[in-house]
Structure 1
Amino acid sequence: MWFKHLHLYRLHDAPGLDASALEDALAEQAARPLGGNDPRRMGWCAPAGRAGNARLHDLQGQRLMSALRQERLLPAAVVREEVDERAAEIEAREGRKLPRKEKITLKEQVTEELLPRAFVRCQKIDLWWDTRRHLIAVNASSRTRAEEVLDLLRETLGSLKVTPLATQALPMRAMTEWLNDPGSRPADLVLGDQVELKAKGDDGVLRARQVDLDSDEIQQLLESGRQASKLALEIEGRLSFVLHDDLAIKSLRFGDALIDEANASDDGDDALIRLETDFLLMAQALGENIERLIAWLGGEAGTSSEPRMT
């Protein structure tokens, strides 16, 4: 259950749906098997998988939902090879060069024929909705996937006004300062052992892992004008993660004390109870520490500005 990545969004004018109404809305957009010629589809599924049928878990204002993304895998090389073979047969049979327009039509034909036989890749993407903080977080490795889940939620609710969470201090500027000046680091913040440094010019990106971030080598790179676009951090004893310059949180790990608390809870070997226990503990820990991170970055930006649709 524990999230590995977070793309954070501020929810504006939250729709006033209770848990029952939201569950009904999710059911209307439930995941269904792909049709023969459907290249991809996304719908809501049960976060608990086989352990439960509910598409929504609502616990003390913390909501958990899961989207199932299905996509047919039809490599472009396979389509191209089949198109070339059929085009060659037509040209040999009719004694003429196939024009581009006919090749495009042939490609569409081939794609339509091969698509039903293509493998289907399924990906479950979890969404956490903190109704008290008006915060939504998507457990996705890329922002593109996170936005797809938000699009599904928007379609499900009829309207959804969200903006990517933003802070007064740019994460890149703050991360660079924390690297450069140990005295600027918040008391509970500990540097990890990996960093990505971007140059202002065309010198590219430097990535370093398992390094001492307070070393002279890192300081020299900072003095040359490089800035931190990714930085491994730990909120002491609570969370460790890699912070990105767009405020995405990746490689998220939870502190031993929280995991021990989850393991010590009595779930009676019930997978559904285990899921809900872990989720609630995780949501509470994330909510508190996201607030702490926002404060370290100067507070939230644009709180009085007109929200935009994403």
Structure 2
Amino acid sequence: MTQEQATWFGDAFERLVDNIDTAIVGKQEVIRLVLTTLFAQGHMLLEDFPGTGKTVLAKSLARTIDGRTSRIQFTPDLLPSDVTGVTIYDQQKGEFEFHPGPVFASIVLADEINRASPKTQSALLEVMEEGRVTVDGVRHEVPAPFMVIATQNPVEQAGTYKLPEAQLDRFLMKSSLGYPDHDSTVRLLLDAANRQRAENVEPILRAENVVLMQDLAARVHVDPSIMEYIAFLATATRGDGDVVLGVSVRGALALARAVKAWAISQGRTFAIPDDVRDLAVPALAHRIIVDPDAEFAGTTGRDVVERALAQVQPPSRRTTEADTVR
């Protein structure tokens, strides 16, 4: 990893943010989180109220990458084969032929994922974790890059199925857009005639370049002291009195990968403790199961992570070679 490569990455990252911002006005912070998830080779869950632009954000990201994209509208009657694909017997050829489903794309928009049955939701587990699906005992690889952006809204719970903790843990980050501020709202209203904002986003990055940037992000240097900081944070969430289930090792690994992508997006070849603090809530909060009594009193996963951040002191120096040996 050279400084020139990190600078190139940071410049490309900013161009992507500005490009998507033409469709999602005034939400650059969330855009940065989504792009960081992409370059960390993870998946994103967007949960917010209806009409805040979740689908537009996902479609805008898909449009800005010159790769294959697909959208799955999750409904109660959706079947797993509608997601992964199906094997059909071809009478003319006298053999079974696999017809890939919409999951075989670079960017997959899983719209309102909590409206599908648990059986259909679980169809995404293997492909999100391993980048492949198994149909009739045959494995099929999905293209690279591959990212699932799932959306759900916290209202209208009738006829929905809450995502199980095992599937929530597969999402590297969870975030929300929220309502735009006054100035951004006015800008959107002045452009009210534009009903297809995401369609106007021009592709500026090829799929193979995304893979290259993912490889660069994986090579960012993270000092062992920062890895210890992440481990202490995960342990602190498990020891919280209001928690039934704290952050798993998978969650700590996800935060470590995200920290690398976040660091290089700012043109650095190395990570710093502030990167961990910036990403701790979106990367860890959704993995925590709060005790029902504490949840009824208003405690959330975000509160638990923030308490851990206040409790665990960030490293003040690098770990030397001698420290590592000891």
**Range class of TM-score, shorter chain:** under 0.3
TM-score with structure 2 setting the length: 0.24
